[in-house]
């Protein structure tokens, strides 16, 4: 693994949640600045791959190497929000992840831009789309080397999706360094503004890149 790469995975066999056994191997590397679109039918294991990368799950087989200093952040499928807590409280975690000192002011501005109007609510009373944007907003506040997005806009309409993506994209650009993005999506929407997308397609038969 050379210096520029973040992840290296050499897979032998994948065990997906629905399909017991993938016929062919999945191997990949993720380097800084990469834009990866992870596609495939429901239940094929897209979220599983993201969980490996996020470090919350370990691959059953294969080897996953990660550069030790790599800062990985995610918008996971479950959004990782505390349902009983306040919406604004969910953002406070960013101060432990290297967010700049003025993160509150930035959060306020970004929330306005993505039309997340009222953060003075309990998380459980937010709509699905609001929860998504809250998770996106939190991700926009954290400077990371790799950002993992698991269908981050699945419950937002096209307009809100564009607004939210603009905020996220802008913050990744402002952070300066070339952050890699792994984006799981169901539909054909490709986040605009990034070049050289690689498409990884997972299917019950295996993976192709």
Partner 1 sequence: MSSTNRVLLYAILLLMAVLTLLSVPVLEGSGRDQGSLLGVLWGFAERFFPPDFSDFKLWIPSFIESLQMAWMATWLALIPAFFFAFCSSSWVPRGVQVVCLVVLSFLRAIPALIYALLAVAVFGPYPLAGVTALVFYSIGYLGKFFADDFNSLDLHLMNTYRAWGVPRWPAFRYGLWPQVSQRFWAHFLWMLEYNVRSSTIIGYVGAGGIGVHLIGYQEYAQWDRFMAVILLITVVVFLFEARRFFIRR
Applying CB under 8 A, which residues contact partner 1? 54-56, 71-74, 76, 78, 80, 82, 84-85, 89, 92-93, 96-97, 142
Minimal distance, residue 71 CB to partner 1, in Å: 6
For partner 1, give the closer residue by CB, 88 or 189.
Answer: 88
For partner 1, give the closer residue by CB, 19 or 73.
Answer: 73
Minimal distance, residue 78 CB to partner 1, in Å: 8
Minimal distance, residue 93 CB to partner 1, in Å: 5
For partner 1, give the closer residue by CB, 64 or 97.
Answer: 97
**C-alpha–C-alpha distance, residues 40 and 47, integer Å:** 10
DSSP string, the chain: --TTEEEEEE-S----SSSS--SS--EEEEETT-EEEEE--TTSSHHHHHHHHHTSS--SSSEEEE-TT--EEEE-TTTT--TTSBTGGGGGGGGGTT--TTHHHHHHHHHHHTT----SSBGGGS-HHHHHHHHHHHHHHS--SEEEEESTTTTS-HHHHHHHHHHHHHHHHHT-S--EEEEE-SSS---TT---EEEEEEETTEEE-
Minimal distance, residue 182 CB to partner 1, in Å: 15
Minimal distance, residue 196 CB to partner 1, in Å: 26
For partner 1, give the closer residue by CB, 96 or 101.
Answer: 96
Residues near 204 by beta carbon (within 8 Å), at least 6 away in sequence: 16, 18, 19, 22, 41, 44
Minimal distance, residue 204 CB to partner 1, in Å: 26
For partner 1, give the closer residue by CB, 4 or 82.
Answer: 82
For partner 1, give the closer residue by CB, 46 or 161.
Answer: 46
Tokens for 175? 């952070």
């Amino acid at each position: 693994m050379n210096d520029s790469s973040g992840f290296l995975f050499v897979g032998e066999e994948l065990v997906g949640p629905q399909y017991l056994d993938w016929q062919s191997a999945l191997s990949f590397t993720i380097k800084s600045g990469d834009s990866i679109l992870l596609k495939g039918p429901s239940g094929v294991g897209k979220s599983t791959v993201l969980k490996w990368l996020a470090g919350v799950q370990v691959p059953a087989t294969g080897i996953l190497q990660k550069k030790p200093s790599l800062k990985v952040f995610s918008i996971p499928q479950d959004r990782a929000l505390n349902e009983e807590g306040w919406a604004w409280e969910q953002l406070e975690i960013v101060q432990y992840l290297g967010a700049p000192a003025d993160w509150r002011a930035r959060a306020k501005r970004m929330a306005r831009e993505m039309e997340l109007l009222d953060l003075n609510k309990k998380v459980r009373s937010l709509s699905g789309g609001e929860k998504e944007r809250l998770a996106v907003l939190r991700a926009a506040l954290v400077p990371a080397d790799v950002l993992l997005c698991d269908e981050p806009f699945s419950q937002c309409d096209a307009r809100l999706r564009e607004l939210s993506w603009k905020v996220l994209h802008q913050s990744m650009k402002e952070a300066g360094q070339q952050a890699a993005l792994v984006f799981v999506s169901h539909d054909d929407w490709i986040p605009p503004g990034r070049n050289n997308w690689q498409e990884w397609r997972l299917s019950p038969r295996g993976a192709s890149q």
